Structure 1
């Protein structure tokens, strides 16, 4: 028997606090079906989400990783590719996106963050999303892709138009940017991700130009909005927990742990879609071949069967969250995201430890694949650019 519920995760992604509704769904109907967006199943317990994410033979990504579909008409590589080819793409991309490869970017990212903070620290207020978080994410991605910093505003505008508005012309512009980059790297190789893709093979065969461009397109688009919005949510949580924020100000070595716990609470990418390749039973429900299935990371990350007192901020948890997903499709940009968010917290808490959200009603959110935050004004004690440095 199918358990039908009224539920739309897409609209919920723009809610200031989606967690009560998500918790009700997990508690009352952990394997549910909704008619929203032409119908899909929703898995919301940690165990069910974890098992489905690992079983790529039964739960495929190749028919699309988002509900509703992106509408772009192009495969998002490697996001919408199944093993074994997906494994080959990951192996190539990992050379440029794992912690060791990213270490060289820590100081440039830190310098960029400090420079941004220096522009608004004397004012005592800023829009942290537009003045720090989005520029930071764009700059960090630019380093990985070997793009000049002066192209940052242009790329940020293109990517946000695509992600927030579904602007297909923006998709074409971003595609064209990377097509031009790939053409240049063929003639002028550099030590960056596009050059690495140009010179790599998957399954013993060189990647086509289209495959390379789609890899770049996907990594850039996924790494911008998600990181910037995650940073806003993390800062909002710390603003609501001043005692925990004081701990981080006094003991900045705990910030890496804090990033993990904050990401668990935030779940910046609330869910990902799969398609059943065959009839399968999950819990007491049969999911038929061809039906879409939503893996709710945001619900799994607050499952009380796994995380004691799941809504509480606790920097000492030792259980792995699924904030970056799990299994073969675990977010390949996770190490870059952690690096950016750690640096952002270290520098911001050092410079403006008393920041507050100026007016929660002024925070601008939007629905989408990520829990989007377009604007979040904050206030703090004004300081000179050199304070605490």
Structure 2
């Protein structure tokens, strides 16, 4: 049977978009999970919050990502005249984030070899040098904001070097990336609160598209050993990659390659600052970083929700999902489901962890090994080098983003930052 719309349903969705809940959305998630599956306003949008339901849909063959299967229009639609600007396809349907098999398989295979565990492990010395360099610069300035000075510079530098993007272009890339990450957020047709301007989204999309067009032209003239050059070779082979897929893949890797890891490092640091006995353990036991990261992915995940579209009907306990329905899975709520995790609101790195933060099935996060390594190194270098860190504010400000949730700043006071050579 289909779940009937509840009087509480509109409040749930408004609460999800309300910036006042960004710092701590988990009480709202608990109420939503207790309510069970929700069909918003009786329309074609279903919200799932339990671990059982989210895991089932993530694995279900009829739960797809291609927008052509949806019964409602998706994506931002410009409402103003863009003075002749075309809507370049960069973060949309040409990206393998929004493609199903066989195209998803083909496109993912082209970049997967750059993110295998063995290849990622080989990046350890360089990532460590980047993290130590970031802390060195903070020590010279005499102040430390974990987001601006460590959590952001580390993954953006790594993904730029991997792709072959000049790091001096980072300020522009950061602006475009932050704007385009908002396209992943749900929006309400009845409210424009916190809603990005569609015209600005299209403009950012086009500018990033043009940037990679120009960079690809340069790499064709002077190939390098970076990932962009490898993708160009695949494109020029004829059938592996179209030009638009090349540009879209670059945009996706840039945005997905750092936005989520920024939040992972920042959220884990906040958890450690709030549980100082765990920070003390990490200071002397680097292996403790791995369970801290896994628990952060469960307790305060960088990706709060993911969408799917029902290509065919999907039956779940308590609700029937029709073909064409949009399915919104609140992974952050599922990861605190008391049916799966004892005392889910407690940060406990020792627990057995089966979180859904990286998804399941064919769309399992391609960059998971790299994100884990970057967070591991950032957290261990922070724990060993920063002496007696304390938050400089009662509660840090949060970014506007709903889907990719994380603090905008984590300003700290501390007694000192040890030199990299003297932190053991």
Could you tell me the TM-score, scaled by structure 1's length? 0.90
Deviation at 1:35, TM superposition (A): 3.8
Give the equivalent residue in structure 2 for 1:360.
Answer: 394
Give the equivalent residue in structure 1 for 2:22.
Answer: 15
Distance 1:53 1:21 in 2: 22
Using the TM superposition, name which of 211-220 and 223-232 deviates more: 223-232
- Mark the CA change 1:70 to 1:348 in structure 2 (over 3 Å): closer, same or farther: farther
Equivalent in 110, 113, 135 of residue 153 of structure 2: 135
Equivalent in 409, 413, 422 of residue 375 of structure 1: 409
Give the equivalent residue in structure 2 for 1:218.
Answer: 252
Give the equivalent residue in structure 2 for 1:189.
Answer: 223
Structure with the larger strand share: 1
What is the count of residue pairs matched by the alignment?
386
The answer (yes or no) to whether the contact 2:235–2:246 under 8 Å persists in 1 is no
Distance 2:346 2:74 in 1: 31
Q: Deviations over 1:305-343 (max 9, x none)?
A: 222222222223333211111111111111121111111
Deviation at 1:294, TM superposition (A): 0.7
Deviation at 1:15, TM superposition (A): 1.3
What pairs up with 1:306-325 in 2 under 5 angstroms?
Answer: 306-325=340-359
Distance 1:334 1:32 in 2: 30
Distance 1:28 1:12 in 2: 22
Aligned-residue RMSD, C-alpha: 2.7
Give the equivalent residue in structure 2 for 1:2.
Answer: 3
In the alignment, structure 1 residue 241 sits paired with structure 2 residue 275: yes
Deviation at 1:63, TM superposition (A): 1.0
- Mark the CA change 1:261 to 1:117 in structure 2 (over 3 Å): closer, same or farther: same
The answer (yes or no) to whether the contact 1:182–1:209 under 8 Å persists in 2 is no
SS of residue matched to 1:173: helix
Distance 1:205 1:244 in 2: 51
Using the TM superposition, name which of 192-201 and 326-335 deviates more: 192-201
Long gaps (5+) in structure 2: 78-86, 183-195
In the alignment, structure 1 residue 125 sits paired with structure 2 residue 143: yes
Distance 1:270 1:289 in 2: 24
Q: Deviations over 1:38-75 (max 9, x none)?
A: 7511111112111111113x11100189x973557632
Distance 1:78 1:11 in 2: 30
Deviation at 1:215, TM superposition (A): 0.8
The answer (yes or no) to whether the contact 1:41–1:291 under 8 Å persists in 2 is yes
In the alignment, structure 1 residue 334 sits paired with structure 2 residue 338: no
Give the equivalent residue in structure 1 for 2:46.
Answer: 41
Distance 2:111 2:17 in 1: 29
Equivalent in 79, 84, 102 of residue 84 of structure 1: 102
The answer (yes or no) to whether the contact 2:22–2:402 under 8 Å persists in 1 is no
The answer (yes or no) to whether the contact 1:324–1:330 under 8 Å persists in 2 is yes
- Mark the CA change 1:288 to 1:281 in structure 2 (over 3 Å): closer, same or farther: same
The answer (yes or no) to whether the contact 2:385–2:418 under 8 Å persists in 1 is no
In the alignment, structure 1 residue 32 sits paired with structure 2 residue 38: yes
In the alignment, structure 1 residue 260 sits paired with structure 2 residue 265: no
Q: Deviations over 1:159-188 (max 9, x none)?
A: 224335563322222112222222233333
In the alignment, structure 1 residue 301 sits paired with structure 2 residue 319: no
- Mark the CA change 1:357 to 1:3 in structure 2 (over 3 Å): closer, same or farther: farther
In the alignment, structure 1 residue 180 sits paired with structure 2 residue 180: no
Q: Deviations over 1:197-216 (max 9, x none)?
A: 22337998231111011011
- Mark the CA change 1:384 to 1:143 in structure 2 (over 3 Å): closer, same or farther: same
In the alignment, structure 1 residue 115 sits paired with structure 2 residue 150: no
The answer (yes or no) to whether the contact 1:364–1:376 under 8 Å persists in 2 is no
Give the equivalent residue in structure 2 for 1:388.
Answer: 423
Give the equivalent residue in structure 2 for 1:284.
Answer: 318
In the alignment, structure 1 residue 144 sits paired with structure 2 residue 178: no
The answer (yes or no) to whether the contact 1:265–1:311 under 8 Å persists in 2 is yes
Distance 1:249 1:194 in 2: 37
Give the equivalent residue in structure 1 for 2:65.
Answer: 61
